[in-house]
Amino acid sequence: MIRRYALDECRLAVCEDAEGEIILCLDPDEAEKRMLIERYALDEHTLLSALDPNELSRIETEPSHTALIFKIPKNYDPKGEFEFHVTSLGLFLFEKKLIIVASEDMIPFTGKAFARVERMPEIMLKILNASISHFRAHLQVIDRVSEELADRINTAMENKYLLRLFALEKSLVYYLNAMTSNSGVLERMKQYAQRLGFHQDDRELLDDIIIENQQCFKQAKMHSNILSSMMDARVSIVNNNLSILMKRLNILTISIMVPTLVVSIFSMNVAIPLQKNEFAFWIILSLSFLSMAGVLLFWKFKK
């Protein structure tokens, strides 16, 4: 699917004209890919890299444009069992045109950041900034979810909460790799600032994006270290909870076995005491309860 936007009085507006200044391609089909390659001279390998979630971030210069592959977080899927994934975003910057290629609709052209835009490089930088903010928002969600899971593990006796923590830790590894890859591209963009047509305001925004990416990386690293260091302790908590449950079940089993023994003795088909006593049933029943109470008191005092 292809959407086109145009700059109208420093604002982005949907454009039906085929010559719109900004072209957003969302999961393009083969015909749309061929159109981009033939009409705008995009490199086929670079175009496919923009749709490959495993592709590393990079920047390439072509005669007519500059191509940028950037890692961004995917929209969270509730069916993903607490896994957060990353994907690739392709930005192809021409002198008066910007082509954006993404596998899904995750490009925000709303909000304060896009309230006023004047140039293609500025729009590109604000898209990168929005992507890093998306990373930060996901990290906040991961932090809240991990705290909730940690609380449930304190009383849990099954592995599903641990598996969810493992999924979060795995997601953080993906995020750390993506931010590291993005960091190299952002640093190279500083070297290509003149070629990319950056003004002084664009250079300052790029510096802010680099700082934001570094802070986001440190936050993800901190969450990853906490999850990793506490994982063994949480596994021990689950095992300890299971041991406590088994201990209680054993005590209950032994407590039932003793009165069962008393009743079994008086049920033998031989001459036994109290067999002619009219209160024999109640006496045997009382002995059973007393024996069970005795066992429970014994375990209580033995702790």
CATH code of residue 129: 3.30.460.20
Instruction: Say if residue 191 is in the same domain as residue 277.
Output: no
pLDDT at 115 over 70: no
Q: Considering only CA atoms, which of 191, 216, 231 is closest in space to residue 128? A: 216
Domain with 107 in it: 2-241
- In 3D space, the residue among 109, 134, 133 whose CA is nearest the CA of residue 122 turns out to be 109
DSSP code at position 56: P
Distance CA 140, CA 124 (A): 25
Number of independent structural domains in the chain? 2
Is 60 in contact with 67 (CB distance < 8 Å)? yes
DSSP string, 135-153: HHHHHHHHHHHHHHHHHHH
Residues 176 and 297 in one domain: no
Other beta carbons within 10 angstroms of residue 43's beta carbon come to 14
Q: Would you say residue 302 has pLDDT above 70?
A: no
Q: Within this chain, do residues 90 and 101 fall inside the same structural domain, yes or no?
A: yes
Could you tell me if 161 and 267 lie in one domain? no
Q: Is the per-residue pLDDT at 208 higher than 70?
A: yes
* Domain end point (choices 241, 274, 290): 241
Q: Does one domain contain both 235 and 253? A: no
pLDDT category, 103, cuts 50, 70, 90? confident
Pick the closest to residue 203 from 213, 194, 212 (CA basis).
Answer: 194
Contacts 24+ apart (CB under 8 A), 240-247: 241/155, 241/156, 241/157, 242/157, 245/157
Cβ atoms of 274 and 283 within 8 Å: the answer is yes
Cα dihedral 184, 175, 108, 195 in deg (nearest 10): 10
Asked if 290 and 220 sit in the same domain, the reply is: no
For the ranges 44-48, 158-162, 215-219, the lowest mean pLDDT is seen at 158-162
* Residue ranges in 154-199 assigned as alpha helix (H): 160-191
Q: Using the 3D structure, point to which of 226, 241, 256 is the last residue of a domain.
A: 241
Final residue in a domain of this structure, among 206, 226, 241: 241
For 231-259, the pLDDT digits (tens) are 666 666 667 767 777 777 777 777 777 77
Other CB atoms within 10 A of residue 64 CB: 12
Residue showing tokens 């002619």: 276
Whether residue 20 sits in one domain with residue 62: yes
* pLDDT computed for residue 210 by the predictor: 92
Q: What percent of the chain has pLDDT over 90?
A: 8
**For 8-52, how does the pLDDT look when each residue is reduced to its tens digit (9 = 90+)?**
776 777 777 666 788 888 888 888 888 888 888 888 888 888 888
pTM of the model: 0.75
Same domain, residue pair 268 and 232: no
